[in-house]
Amino acid sequence: MPRTKQRTPELRDHVRAVAVEVLAAEGPAGFTARGVAARAGTSVPAIYELFGDKGGLLREVFFEGFRMLRKHLSDVPETPDPLADLSALMQSYRRFVHANPLLSELMFSRPFTDFAPGPTERRAGAAVRTFIVARVHRCTEATLLHGNDTDIAHVLVALTQGMAAAENARRLGTTRESIDRRWHLALTATLTGLSPK
């Protein structure tokens, strides 16, 4: 297949999507501009022209991860039960991290030395938290939870990321039943602890 020569928005989108795939397949150690270019059917100079350097490409993958997560969470419907919806949202977050472990590592653990998130990157994560805050607010407004909406959202996100990382590392149990039981315990205990006394 001939290499794509045009530095178009379509090429940028294509390279970004391929970069996500390369990260998933090769991990941080195997993620190179050359590898992404080869799989995308373009050249390393095209990658650098589009993204600046490997760090710029990783930055785009980072943003794409949060776009994917936001869309994934948006697919969780709202029902008349805000607390059940919030629990379902955290389970959706869990499934995203479980399905995208290396992308999640880039988003939350910073495994690359040539990519350090700045204020713009941190705002990408904040956009996801804002979405979760809105779901938390439904619970506090209905007096099902008590506390500051943003504080509760931070706690739930930290809990979910930590539990999901433990699950991906196979430190949460050896059977689906035990893993699910521990997830249920963690979410239930947290939400119960946040309920009005």
- The one-character DSSP state at 194 is T
For 1-52, CATH gives 1.10.10
Cβ proximity of 69 and 63 under 8 Å: no
How many Å apart are CA 18 and CA 32, to the nearest integer? 12
Question: DSSP labels for 56-97?
Answer: HHHHHHHHHHHHHHHHHHHTSPP-S-HHHHHHHHHHHHHHHH
pLDDT band per the 50, 70, 90 thresholds, residue 2 = low
Cα separation of 36 and 19, whole Å? 6
pLDDT tens figures, 138-153: 999 999 999 999 999 9
CB 190 within 8 A of CB 156: yes
Q: Is the pLDDT of residue 9 over 90?
A: no
The pLDDT of residue 55: 84
Q: What is the pLDDT of residues 99-126, one digit of tens each?
A: 999 899 888 876 666 666 677 777 777 7
What mean pLDDT value characterizes the chain?
89
What is the domain partition of the chain in residue ranges?
A: 1-52, 62-193
- Name the percent of the chain lying above pLDDT 70: 92
Residue 110, number of CB atoms within 10 A of its CB: 13
pLDDT bracket for residue 171 (50, 70, 90): very high
CATH code: domain 62-193 is 1.10.357.10
Q: What is the pTM of this model?
A: 0.84
Q: How far apart are CA 80 and CA 64, in angstroms?
A: 31
Structure tokens at 23: 């990260």
The pLDDT, as a whole number, for residue 111 is: 61
Using N-to-C axis directions, what is the helix angle for 176-193 and 149-168, rounded to 10°? Answer: 170
Could you tell me which of 191, 34, 63, 59 has the C-alpha nearest to residue 128? 63
- Whether 14 and 40 have beta carbons less than 8 Å apart is answered as yes
Question: At residue 3, does pLDDT exceed 60?
Answer: no
Residue with token string 């992308």: 103
Query: For 74-88, 115-129, 149-163, which range has the lowest pLDDT when averaged over its residues?
Result: 115-129
